[in-house]
Structure 1
Amino acid sequence: MSTAASQGTNPASPEPATSAESAVGQEFEVTVGPVAHGGHCVARSEAGQVLFVRHTLPGERVIARVTEGDVGARFLRADAVTILDPSKDRIEAPCPFSGPGRCGGCDWQHAKPGAQRRLKADVLTEQLARLAGLTPEDVSWDGTVEPVPGDKVPAGEVPAWRTRVQYAIDAEGRAGFRRHRSHEVEPVGHCLIASEGVSELGIERRTWPQTASIDAIAASGSTDRQVIVTPTSGGRLPLVELDRPVSVLRAEEQRGRGGESRTVHRVHGRPFVRERADGRTWRVGAGGFWQVHAAAADLLVDAVMRGLTPRKGETALDLYCGVGLFAGALADRVGERGAVLGIESSKRAVEDARHNLADFPRVRVEQGRVERVLPRTGITEADIVVLDPPRSGAGRATVELLASMGPRRIAYVACDPAALARDLAYFAASAYHPRFLRAFDLFPMTHHLECVAILEPAAKGS
């Protein structure tokens, strides 16, 4: 029953809002249904109320305890706290900090590695169908999420793949990670998915007074290590004593017109790390974007170039180009008679991209939002395009603009299956259809995956 606020005595005053009754802590015995996007599965209470349940697997019978939501709400969020009938794909979570109410970083620690990839494939299939009306056959996808070479490990083991880790620091100065949908910090003794280069920094083995968060970076293509320390509000940069020599930088939060913007100040060491991919070394400035899996950059470049099949003399676009990874790969393949335009919104990333691509005279990198900069360039045609947007996707306007330029192929690199599906629907409306799609398990133990879709004009793809 909802609890109503007491009525005021002034008849002219507005009626107070009714406060909803929280359902947090209620428990339901449920049979778990299919996996959903976001690291949980769908179940229903006996009354038909939808529950999004974490720490469970399809087909299991569990006791689900509500963690978020009100009585009578359209849906509730819950954790499986007791497993009554386990799935054959269930294992004991290898990480001691995983489980209901614990670290929110990994969604599938309790699932066998092969089962994790099947769950991700199910999510991608569902998103393609629901948001784009596409089947795996429509996009020439074999329905599998491919493991990264070297990541296939037996059940109960965890690949240490993550080269960039952001730690939250609790009130006692202990390093850890946020709990799911919470600001509370779960201190950890050791993160199993952190790469050896991150672990050897010893972030978890010391305390961090006056510190809000720490970014630990271990470059996969060099011995460069970097730690970015964000002090608490008004705090000072703590004395940093790590287990090996490392660049240390201080991050400050400064409020600008657009909201909070992060500014990084060099303390000592290089203000960048050197990554290695596609036979080249790439400078990545402090806080700049680079794939977090050590093998991801090479794997994605290979998938994109195989899909686009660049030809000598072609004109290519690399949109949301970051520090220039795909632009460099394109420039190398289209040759001296070809040309490449990269567009990136981050000023620091553009500086890095121009540095990284300085030996390619036919490469141009512009700074700004793609949908604003591209029309101003005067370019009305392109042969091939790499589209690597943020998690929110490219959007209808950008898709329509690209389709109007008539490229023979577009490579869409996506880190979110819902955004990919939405944009594929926009491409279909502009007569571009997928030639094929590949999905990669670049984020083991989590619900995330990466996709590469190659698109062509519909007449060619038919």
Structure 2
Amino acid sequence: MSTDTGTTDHTELTVDVGPVAHGGHCVARHEGRVIFVRHGIPGEKVRIRLTEDGESAKFWRANVIEVLEPSPDRVEHFWHAADAQRSWSHGHPPVGGAELGHISLARQRRLKAEVLAEQLHRLAGPGFHVPKTPVEAVGEAASAAGTGLGWRTRTGFAVTPAGRIGMHAHRSEAVFAVREMPLAVDGINALRLWDLDLQGIERVEVAAPANGSRPLVLLVPAGGTRPKRLAAIAARLPDDVSVAQLDPATGAVTQLRGRTWVQESAAGHDYRVTGDGFWQIHRDAPETLVGAVTGFLHDGGYLAAGSVVADLYAGAGLFTAPLADAVGVTGSVLSVEGAPGTSRDARKNLHGAPQVEIVQGKVERVLRQKPRNFDALILDPPRAGAGKAVVNQLVASGPRAVAYVSCDPASFARDVGYFRQAGWDLGALRAFDLYPHTHHMETVALLTPRR
């Protein structure tokens, strides 16, 4: 068996698929044991192949290899490489990155709403009233004929031992060659990276901005790969594509051809983003999230000319620039980012806004060093969330409101619990399906001190 780690007599089982769980799988049970099943839908009867098992394991993991009683929401998967049944029929697991592609878009969003509600119920603390929050469709997927494809402006690829572009199977080091990426924008697929010989390269990161500006291909070389080899690969790419080398250990980006950055656009501003610096990957995500954050703050009276605000985990300044517009020259914006390269991008992007102060460093340290009476804080932490220490530091800084942007419902729900322990309440919440065909979602919340 492929990645099975325990007994072999339970390699394949027939189970009833239970409720959806956080992480892209559903819960099933076999002889009292919990199995996290991917590629199923609640209510189905399926045959599964165990991918992680063992008598000492707390739970097992499995893939669906055959559907015996399908859900009415099951659809044909749009991508053969990520289709579990098709892949296992050829003797190998599917690639990751489209684990919900067998489910209708409407049901995907309902399942994500269930996950968000369950995480809040479980982690936000006793007595918390979970608001009924639909997960909103965004962009092309919001239309009746929407497919949920072609939205990724950034994609990372692995490389097979034979030097072909590929992707990992879920929770596996195995890499399988691919010849398309249906979730990516046309600008990425048009590069035809699958036609290149990438021997000597470990990973490839690609960014193709939604505004049509020059794409960037980042090559992460294996140890010992010579510069001549990198130059040969760059020469095979179209002339209007920038190519650079990325050192994953230091984050250093070295120019091979063109620029080491891309130009993104959102909310009436242009943003320089260097290398693999953070930027929302859905083509419509920046506008959507800026609108949700500023809408909450405007409607609550926390954002206006003269307001004092902070943008924490600010990245290249996606939220900082529209906040600067809103507060005007009579207000102020403190923009805090931990990554040095991304903070440098923010300085370039906001150089014409004298009301903005850019600081590179840890959020809790900067807030201690620069105390002020904030009207609002914008919090957009990485997937791990802010954590108890940061939440307590935010509360201690005395803002009138916090707008919290999260890409992980579990860390978000946990942090809501920390805010509640500190005497704050969840005042408003929206959720967006910015990652169709995956289990991921984005939430924007407004948190305020309890009256």
* TM-score, normalization by structure 2: 0.92
Q: CA deviation at 1:132?
A: 0.8
- Output aligned runs, 1:140-159, within 5 Å: 141-152=131-142, 157-159=147-149
In the alignment, residue 82 of structure 1 is paired with which amino acid?
E
Q: CA deviation at 1:430?
A: 1.2
Which residue is equivalent to 1:358? 351
CA distance in 2, matches of 1:209, 1:145: 42
Q: How has the CA–CA distance of structure 1 residues 134 and 172 changed in structure 2, closer, same or farther, with 3 Å as cutoff?
A: farther
Determine if the alignment matches structure 1 residue 320 to structure 2 residue 310. no
CA distance in 1, matches of 2:368, 2:95: 44
Q: CA deviation at 1:154?
A: 6.2
Q: How has the CA–CA distance of structure 1 residues 326 and 456 changed in structure 2, closer, same or farther, with 3 Å as cutoff?
A: same
Does the aligned pair in 2 maintain the 1:383–1:409 contact within 8 Å? yes
Does the aligned pair in 2 maintain the 1:222–1:276 contact within 8 Å? no
SS in 1 for 2:252: strand
Determine if the alignment matches structure 1 residue 39 to structure 2 residue 34. no
Determine if the alignment matches structure 1 residue 95 to structure 2 residue 85. no
SS in 2 for 1:324: coil
Which residue is equivalent to 1:13? none
**How many residues of Structure 1 are paired with residues of Structure 2 in the alignment?**
430
Q: CA deviation at 1:292?
A: 0.4
Q: CA deviation at 1:406?
A: 2.2
Does the aligned pair in 2 maintain the 1:229–1:251 contact within 8 Å? yes
In the alignment, residue 404 of structure 2 is paired with which amino acid?
Y
Which residue is equivalent to 1:417? 409
Which residue is equivalent to 1:5? none
Which residue is equivalent to 1:193? 183
SS in 2 for 1:89: coil
Does the aligned pair in 2 maintain the 1:112–1:156 contact within 8 Å? no
In the alignment, residue 306 of structure 1 is paired with which amino acid?
G
Q: CA deviation at 1:221?
A: 2.5
In the alignment, residue 244 of structure 2 is paired with which amino acid?
L
Render the CA deviation track for 1:21-58: whole Å, top value 9, x for unaligned: 4458612211111001110000000x111100001010
Of 153-162 and 208-217, deviating more is 153-162
Does the aligned pair in 2 maintain the 1:432–1:458 contact within 8 Å? yes
Determine if the alignment matches structure 1 residue 443 to structure 2 residue 435. yes
Determine if the alignment matches structure 1 residue 295 to structure 2 residue 284. yes
Match of 1:281 among 260, 270, 273: 270
Looking at secondary structure, tell me which structure has more helix per residue. Answer: 2
SS in 1 for 2:244: strand
Of 232-241 and 427-436, deviating more is 232-241
Does the aligned pair in 1 maintain the 2:168–2:175 contact within 8 Å? yes
Does the aligned pair in 2 maintain the 1:162–1:194 contact within 8 Å? yes
In the alignment, residue 75 of structure 1 is paired with which amino acid?
F
SS in 2 for 1:191: coil
Q: How has the CA–CA distance of structure 1 residues 156 and 302 changed in structure 2, closer, same or farther, with 3 Å as cutoff?
A: closer
CA RMSD of aligned residues (A): 1.8
CA distance in 1, matches of 2:339, 2:274: 11
Q: How has the CA–CA distance of structure 1 residues 206 and 341 changed in structure 2, closer, same or farther, with 3 Å as cutoff?
A: same
- Output aligned runs, 1:62-211, within 5 Å: 62-100=46-84, 101-133=93-125, 138=129, 141-152=131-142, 157-211=147-201
In the alignment, residue 440 of structure 2 is paired with which amino acid?
H
Q: CA deviation at 1:158?
A: 4.1
Q: CA deviation at 1:245?
A: 1.7
Larger Rg: 1
Q: How has the CA–CA distance of structure 1 residues 59 and 246 changed in structure 2, closer, same or farther, with 3 Å as cutoff?
A: same
Q: CA deviation at 1:308?
A: 0.8
In the alignment, structure 2 segments of 5+ residues that lack a partner are 85-92
Which residue is equivalent to 1:11? none
